[in-house]
Amino acid sequence: MKTDLRVPFVPVSGPRSRDVITVQGQTVMEGRIKAIGLVSGGLDSTLAVAVLKRQGIEMLGIHFLNGFSSGMLQRLALARDEERERQAQTAQELSEILGIPVEVIDVSEEYLGLLLAPRHGYGANVNPCIDCRIFMLKKAKVRMEREGAHFIFTGEVLGQRPMSQHRQAMELVERRSGLKDLLVRPLCAKLLKPSLPEREGWVRREELLDIQGRSRRRQIELAAGLGITDYAQPAGGCTLTDDNYARRFRDLVGSREPPSVTREETVLLSIGRHLRINRNVKIVVGRDKGENMYLERYWSDSPLATTIDYPGPTTLIQGDPSGEDIVLAASITARYSDAKRQPQVRVVVRKDGTEEILTVIPAGDDEIGRYRI
Ligand code: SF4
């Protein structure tokens, strides 16, 4: 899944148009000063854009999708057809909010490699924030070179996030992304060493800011002062920071040697009830009609169980199940159906066009508790 929704790179007019750009007094390039920004459309990146816009910098915003925003995972599970349209809409909305062209780029397939083995480890859950930032900035750097832009900017604030926005991490990210000296963080630049664009006067450092910490007070005041009222609210956040998701992810990856995960599995981890029956077998029980339909539509290559005489969930059986495992999966399916209090329940297990009908006793809550991931 790769999307590259382009919006033309339109110059922004302003008081800071440059015809000649110099480094240490030498003319190195001619034309306007251009920057590429990593933008979410949230308050911080909106302010970063506003600060640079006042200096007449020409900007292109890039909004990378690593595939783990909860909204995106939910759409891929329950309304996949809407996802592409949603991405086009996001580009348009961000463009309107920020007042600069914005591209939305889906990098979710490529991101999986990083997620399995992040060089700088995970945060509190399975969020590889430092590697994530490096990955996005490297991509932005390629784009910077292709566009002939002069630097990259972000809306980062020193000390705002525990893993990736303390001074050491910010310096590390800058170095490892190959952007040393070419990364400007307008909201906290005055607390950092001056970058090349600041030293050379491509950007007026004195107009950049010194915001730090987790409080949003200064950003809110600044937004009010600049008349900014329209900015995107965080859209559900990054699922990789979620405890439940992290547990399921670790279980899946830890059950494989070598560790692996597919994009479709990352969607699957975001829905249903997950139960590990043994090292080789895991089941996923749909919680509602939408999740049942997702399992039937995208996972029909694996055995799927459902009750026959009463409404109930669809259960995906993954791995290499024995006959005993299938019976257990069927009894768990019965437990989550409307027949959970019946002494015996008929469950059908379908695979590759064949059907097996089992009569089972619904599993007890204690038993289920043992397997829940
Ligand atoms: S919270 Fe998620 S999207 Fe944000 S830097 Fe960390 S891993 Fe990347």
- Mean pLDDT of the region 25-44: 82
Is the Cβ atom of 72 under 6 angstroms away from ligand 1? no
Mean of all residue pLDDT scores within the chain: 91
Q: Ligand 1: which residue has its CA nearest to atom 1?
A: 238
Strands 151-153 and 183-184: parallel
Query: Which DSSP string do the residues of 15-52 spell out, in sequence order?
Result: TT--SEEEETTEEEEES--EEEEE--SSHHHHHHHHHH
Does residue 12 register a pLDDT over 80? Answer: no
- Please give the model's pTM, rounded to 2 decimal places: 0.88
> Smallest Cα–Cα separation from 76: which of 25, 131, 1, 128?
1
Report the nearest atom of ligand 1 relative to the CA of 240.
2
Q: Ligand 1: which residue has its CA nearest to atom 6?
A: 129
- Beta carbons of 55 and 204 less than 8 angstroms apart: yes
For 162, which DSSP code? Answer: T
Q: What's the CA gap between 344 and 342, in Å, rounded?
A: 5
Ligand 1: residue of 45, 64, 240, 266 to mutate (most ligand atoms within 8 A of CB) is 240
Domain 4-226 coded CATH 3.40.50.620? yes
Task: For residue range 228-284, list pLDDT tens digits in order.
Answer: 887 776 556 899 999 999 999 999 999 999 999 999 999 999 999 999 999 999 999
27 CB-side CA count, 13 A: 6
Say what angle helices 81-98 and 70-78 make with each other, to 10 degrees. 150
Q: Tokens for 131, please give them.
A: 């590697």
Task: For residue range 177-217, list pLDDT tens digits in order.
Answer: 999 999 999 999 999 999 999 999 999 999 999 999 999 99
**Cα–Cα distances in angstroms (integers) from residue 150 to residues 8, 32, 43, 63, 166, in the given order:** 18, 9, 24, 19, 25
Is the Cβ atom of 129 under 6 angstroms away from ligand 1? yes
**Cα–Cα distances in angstroms (integers) from residue 166 to residues 173, 212, 214, in the given order:** 11, 10, 11
226, containing H or E segment: helix 217-226
Q: Tokens for 119, please give them.
A: 């060089």
308 Cβ neighbours under 8 A, 6+ residues apart: 346, 347, 348, 357
Ligand 1: residue of 105, 106, 132 to mutate (most ligand atoms within 8 A of CB) is 132
- Mean pLDDT of the region 29-53: 90
If phi over 0 gives left and psi between -120 and 50 gives alpha, with beta otherwise, what is residue 159?
left
Q: What's the CA gap between 26 and 34, in Å, rounded?
A: 18
Q: What's the CA gap between 229 and 249, in Å, rounded?
A: 38
CA of 348 to the centre of ligand 1 (A): 41
Report the nearest atom of ligand 1 relative to the CA of 136.
8
Is the Cβ atom of 160 under 6 angstroms away from ligand 1? no
Report the nearest atom of ligand 1 relative to the CA of 163.
6
Per-domain boundaries in the chain: 4-226, 271-371
Q: Which amino acid is at 323?
A: G
Does residue 9 register a pLDDT over 50? Answer: no
- Beta carbons of 224 and 202 less than 8 angstroms apart: no
Q: What's the CA gap between 232 and 45, in Å, rounded?
A: 10
CA of 163 to the centre of ligand 1 (A): 10
User: What is Dmax (Cα atoms) for the chain?
Assistant: 86
Does residue 311 register a pLDDT over 80? Answer: yes
Is the Cβ atom of 128 under 6 angstroms away from ligand 1? yes
pLDDT of residue 234: 58
Say what angle helices 70-78 and 289-298 make with each other, to 10 degrees. 70
Q: Tokens for 96, please give them.
A: 């309107």
Report the nearest atom of ligand 1 relative to the CA of 129.
6
